[in-house]
């Protein structure tokens, strides 16, 4: 009898451990019934108890409002954003997907879902949603986040960054942020002349940006060093 109890106790401990792991790692189902294994479902936003209680109160208030307007996608977006701010990534994902199930061209939902999936560790999913959001409404921040995603998570595809940022500049015009990011890509490829020209134009647009002055100085130094090394 004791051996049976011991086996049951061990089984219970294993079961509880699996539940705890799943609660943190996203082995649940989305609204579309797709199992999201090995993705983070919750992150700590560093809120103290009082702040978290305040945000939870906002959720409760919104839930009451949504009972009156259950199909209001603006309220759904607010709920997804509240859940995201609380670090409840799985719930935020579900609310954004609920919007997209009936309004697949909703750019804010696509953008926010992309950010949520990125924090969950679903980088391919994040890329897909951000590209879809850009196709609907070009937005500089989304272009920059997508470029960083390719650089950091898909280094074998870094060649895609140049046409992506050139598309952004052609669509949105020259901005300090886009020019700087493209200049950094050129510098990383050892194409210092192109990098320098982009940094200099960016500096003309944002003369008070001290970071650009530093980038220009560093690029000139790297260019000089590269030319010296190439000289026999």
| pLDDT for residue 114 is more than 90 | yes
Q: pLDDT tens, 16-69? A: 343 344 443 443 444 444 445 589 999 999 999 999 999 999 999 999 999 999
Whether 6 is covered by a domain: the verdict is no
Q: What integer best gives the mean pLDDT of the chain?
A: 88
* pLDDT classification of 6: cutoffs 50, 70, 90: very low
Q: Are residues 151 and 206 in the same domain?
A: yes
Alpha helix positions (H), the chain: 2-25, 49-68, 73-85, 89-102, 107-120, 123-136, 140-153, 161-172, 176-188, 192-205, 210-230
Q: Are residues 112 and 159 in the same domain?
A: no
Q: Are residues 190 and 110 in the same domain?
A: no
Q: pLDDT tens, 162-202? A: 999 999 999 999 999 999 999 999 999 999 999 999 999 99
Whether 43 is covered by a domain: the verdict is no
Three-state secondary-structure class, residue 167: helix
| pLDDT for residue 81 is more than 50 | yes
Is-contact 120 89, C-beta < 8 A? yes
Enclosing domain of residue 61: 52-118
Whether 226 is covered by a domain: the verdict is yes
pTM of structure = 0.82
> Which domain-ending residue is among 66, 85, 118?
118
Residue 102 belongs to a domain with what CATH number?
A: 1.25.40.10
């Amino acid at each position: 009898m004791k051996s049976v109890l011991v086996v049951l106790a061990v089984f219970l401990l294993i079961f509880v451990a699996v539940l705890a792991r799943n609660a943190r790692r996203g082995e649940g189902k989305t609204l579309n019934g797709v199992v999201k294994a090995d993705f983070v479902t919750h992150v700590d936003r560093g809120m103290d108890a009082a702040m978290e209680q305040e945000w939870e109160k906002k959720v409760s208030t919104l839930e009451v409002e949504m009972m009156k307007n259950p199909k209001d996608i603006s309220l759904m977006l607010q709920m997804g954003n509240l859940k995201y701010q609380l670090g409840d990534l799985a719930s935020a994902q579900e609310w954004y997907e609920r919007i997209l199930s009936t309004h697949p061209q909703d750019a804010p939902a696509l953008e926010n879902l992309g950010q949520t999936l990125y924090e969950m560790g679903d980088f391919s999913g994040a890329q897909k949603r951000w590209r879809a959001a850009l196709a609907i409404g070009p937005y500089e921040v989304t272009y920059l986040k997508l470029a960083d995603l390719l650089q950091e998570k898909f280094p074998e595809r870094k060649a895609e960054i140049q046409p992506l940022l050139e598309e952004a500049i052609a669509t949105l015009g020259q901005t300090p942020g886009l020019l700087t990011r493209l200049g950094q890509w050129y510098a990383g490829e050892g194409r210092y002349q192109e990098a320098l020209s982009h940094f200099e134009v960016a500096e003309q647009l944002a003369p008070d940006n001290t970071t650009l002055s530093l980038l220009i100085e560093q690029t000139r130094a790297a260019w000089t060093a590269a030319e010296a090394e190439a000289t026999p």
